[in-house]
């Protein structure tokens, strides 16, 4: 039972490069989200989706783009990487709404932008 | 606005000591949910407990217990007889409703408390 799968686990980018962080879940969860974790800042919500075709911004959306074409996948795109985007990124999903049910997290992607 | 404050950045205890992790929240919602998550050194995030605002009963699960007090807007987490395996970062989280009907929302996380349990 895979749960939430994130790829890659590690990534190094140069400033200005773009890339996509992949997230897939096999639990048929409607809700999916992306958080970033920075030292001393906790987890901050980037974008979220309540179902296929529906996405919305969280607390720190600038510099990121998302789409939700299927229930299973929720990729996060960095349009033009900046050193401030160096962080650990977590994808999460839940049954029903994201504020009522426990979130299932992926194992994270550690991104370094030089 | 929703806010979660975990004032203790780091706590260090010796094995078998009891330790309490504090969580204070602010919310505009009359109905809300509170959560605790654990992040061990391996990095994954693990769900521990969910509590809704109508249920103020304390909860105990083995060595873990949670004290929810609406009057002080707190949802504290106590580990009894701590063990080295309890070493982790612990996050408290609060629900944030995103639409009027309350059917959609997200979780707002505190900054976390790093617990180190030494043998």
pLDDT of residue B55: 85
A44 interface with B at CB cutoff 8 Å: yes
B64 interface with A at CB cutoff 8 Å: no
Q: How far is CA B39 from the centre of its chain?
A: 12
Closest CA to B112 of B20, B27, B21: B21
Task: Give CA separation, A87 vs A7, A10, A82, B66, in Å.
Answer: 15, 11, 11, 31
pLDDT in tens, A45-93: 999 999 999 999 999 999 999 999 999 999 999 999 999 999 999 999 9
B108 interface with A at CB cutoff 8 Å: yes
- Residue among B9, B47, B112 whose CB faces A103 most closely: B47
> Residue B101: pLDDT above 70?
no
* pLDDT: which is higher, B14 or A1: B14
Strands of the A76-78 sheet, one edge to the other: A4-7, A19-25, A76-78, A64-66
pLDDT in tens, B60-96: 889 999 999 999 999 999 999 999 999 999 999 998 8
Q: How many CB pairs (< 8 A) connect A and B?
A: 61
pLDDT of residue B12: 98
Do the bridges between strand B74-79 and strand B19-21 make them parallel or antiparallel, or are there none, so unpaired? antiparallel
B-interface mutation test, from A61, A100, A108, A110, most B Cβ less than 10 A away: A100
pLDDT of residue B97: 79
């Amino acid at each position: 039972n895979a749960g939430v799968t994130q790829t890659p686990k590690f990534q190094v980018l140069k400033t200005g490069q773009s890339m996509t962080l992949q997230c897939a879940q096999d639990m048929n969860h409607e809700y999916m989200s992306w958080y970033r974790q920075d030292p001393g800042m906790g987890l901050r919500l980037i974008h979220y989706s309540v179902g296929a075709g529906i996405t919305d911004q969280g607390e720190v959306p600038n510099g990121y783009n998302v789409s939700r074409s299927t229930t299973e996948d929720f990729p996060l795109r960095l349009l033009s990487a900046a050193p401030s985007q160096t962080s650990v990124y977590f994808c999460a999903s839940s049954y029903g709404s994201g504020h009522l049910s426990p979130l299932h997290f992926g194992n994270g992607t550690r991104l370094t932008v030089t | 606005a929703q806010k979660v404050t975990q004032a203790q950045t780091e706590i260090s205890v010796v094995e078998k000591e009891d330790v309490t992790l504090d969580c204070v929240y602010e919310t505009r919602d009359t109905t809300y949910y509170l959560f605790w998550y654990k992040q061990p050194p391996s990095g994954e995030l693990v769900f521990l407990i969910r509590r809704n605002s109508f249920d103020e009963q304390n909860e105990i699960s083995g060595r873990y217990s949670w004290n929810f007090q609406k009057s002080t807007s707190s949802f504290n987490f106590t580990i009894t007889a701590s063990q080295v395996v309890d070493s982790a970062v612990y996050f408290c989280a609060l629900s944030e409703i995103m639409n009027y009907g309350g059917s959609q929302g997200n979780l707002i996380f505190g900054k976390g408390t790093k617990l180190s349990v030494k043998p």
